Structure 1
């Protein structure tokens, strides 16, 4: 559970770090949005270092959680309810994440 929560916090930091420049560029937001965006992306990078697994494994597994978090963002921020196909896709991705992160390993 701790790993999943850490992945979700990491995904939120990355999404926010990309969403704020999008607001600036596409929705005529203030250029000041770039400061919290940069801080959020720095937080994202730091959060990835907190996982004890090998970095490549963390990045691969993180992708599944990122997809799920992005769909939650789609619903909460964009107001678009994910379709059953979106949910099936994220379910497959999260299953893959669990295999990658929690499979028994000898080394």
Structure 2
């Protein structure tokens, strides 16, 4: 894992959540269809950011990213939607980050 992996994962998670939230806002909150323009740009940014992750396999990079995404989504719930995560949200996020660490830091044959 290089020094770019964690920042790329965090930025990708925020970009993905923001892009998906734009669709949520349009379809569920009655916002303008114009919300989709920055939403789609954000989703394209998300995909590009994942290519910055130091991994020879896309599947492994995406699998490890999952834990970061889940934790970021819990942060979004609190910071953007104003809903404080409960203990089950926190415990679930920690379990996911442990899984991410195992995938990223596990010994691999060279």
- Which residue of the other structure, out of 96, 99, 104, is the alignment partner of 2:102? 99
Task: Give the superposition deviation at 1:105.
Answer: 1.1
Task: Normalising by structure 2, report the TM-score.
Answer: 0.92
Instruction: Give 5+ residue unaligned stretches, structure 2.
Output: none
- Which residue of the other structure, out of 13, 16, 21, is the alignment partner of 2:15? 13
Q: What aligned pairs does 1:19-34 form with structure 2 within 5 A after superposition?
A: 19-34=21-36
How many residue pairs get aligned? The number is 107
Q: What aligned pairs does 1:49-88 form with structure 2 within 5 A after superposition?
A: 49-53=51-55, 54-88=57-91
Within the alignment, does 1:46 sit opposite 2:81 as a pair? no
Q: Which whole-Å CA distance do the structure 2 matches of 1:91 and 1:17 have between them?
A: 24
Cα root mean square deviation, aligned: 1.1
Secondary structure of the structure 1 residue equivalent to 2:85: coil
Instruction: Give 5+ residue unaligned stretches, structure 1.
Output: none
